[in-house]
Chains A and B, each alone.
Chain A
Amino acid sequence: SQTIHQWPATLVQPVGSPLSLECTVEGTSNPNLYWYRQAAGRGLQLLFYSVGIGQISSEVPQNLSASRPQDRQFILSSKKLLLSDSGFYLCAWSVLQALNYGYTFGSGTRLTVV
């Protein structure tokens, strides 16, 4: 069966520090991978998505970046965190156009920048 792992679950980081959040998928090949963020009082915002190794599409200009070094690994990074980067980050995967199953989400990372 397919599973998605996301870590860490909680993170408190000082302003200006780097960030690395990792997401891995098991049990499927060539998934579409996504990073979403929910800031306080807001809905889920698409940050990045990837349809293959090394292929990253950015939806929102910001100081975050994403990489997909392996087929089932998706990494969200920042060189210097801002207070506005605080939020709940969700990784998700889908196959093809997800018409039968929708997206499968990870358990999320609560990031607090202080």
Chain B
Amino acid sequence: ILNVEQSPQSLHVQEGDSTNFTCSFPSSNFYALHWYRWETAKSPEALFVMTLNGDEKKKGRISATLNTKEGYSYLYIKGSQPEDSATYLCAFQAGTALIFGKGTTLSVSS
């Protein structure tokens, strides 16, 4: 059974704080690692898809890194804003389908 672990489970920060989350995944049969943002009452939205060891991707204040050899990825948010409040999901792809972690729920207070 493939297991994708995310930590922490939840996080509460103040506006302007920078934060990061961890995703651990199997280091074998790796094809890609996805990050999604899931806001309340909306559909999960793709942030990044990473395939190569050492990949770093950035979108605005959000960035992600990938280490396929040791099986982990970090998601960073610089200068958190209240609109960043959401659940952040990572998903491991070995074949066609994605295996999701349980997510990290971020709450940003103004």
Residues in chain A within 8 A of chain B (CB atoms):
32, 34, 36, 42-46, 49, 51, 57, 59, 90, 97-108
For B93-105 the 0/1 string (1 means CB < 8 A from A) is 1001111111100
For B53-94 the 0/1 string (1 means CB < 8 A from A) is 000000000000000000000000000000000000101010
Known contacts: A97-B32, A100-B49, A103-B34. The answer to whether A51 contacts B96 by CB under 8 A is yes
| Contact across chains for A49 and B96 when beta carbons are under 8 A apart | yes
Residues in chain B within 8 A of chain A (CB atoms):
31-32, 34, 36, 42-49, 51, 89, 91, 93, 96-103
Minimal Cβ-Cβ distance residue in A for B44: A105
Return chain B residues, CB-CB under 8 Å to A101.
46, 49
Minimal Cβ-Cβ distance residue in A for B36: A102
A-B contact pairs, 7 of them (CB 8 A): A43-B102, A102-B46, A102-B48, A103-B46, A104-B43, A105-B44, A107-B42
| Contact across chains for B96 and A32 when beta carbons are under 8 A apart | yes
| Contact across chains for A90 and B43 when beta carbons are under 8 A apart | yes
Partner of A102, one of B34, B97, B99: B34
Return chain A residues, CB-CB under 8 Å to B36.
102-103
Tell me the smallest distance from the CB of B1 to a CB of chain A, in Å. 10
| Contact across chains for B102 and A108 when beta carbons are under 8 A apart | no
Main SS of the interface on chain B?
strand
Minimal Cβ-Cβ distance residue in A for B42: A107
Known contacts: A105-B43, A105-B44. The answer to whether A98 contacts B99 by CB under 8 A is no
Partner of A97, one of B31, B47, B91, B101: B31
Partner of B93, one of A43, A98, A100: A98
Tell me the smallest distance from the CB of A89 to a CB of chain B, in Å. 12
Tell me the smallest distance from the CB of A4 to a CB of chain B, in Å. 8
Partner of B49, one of A34, A46, A98, A106: A98
| Contact across chains for B89 and A97 when beta carbons are under 8 A apart | no
Known contacts: A43-B100, A46-B99, A99-B51. The answer to whether A107 contacts B46 by CB under 8 A is no
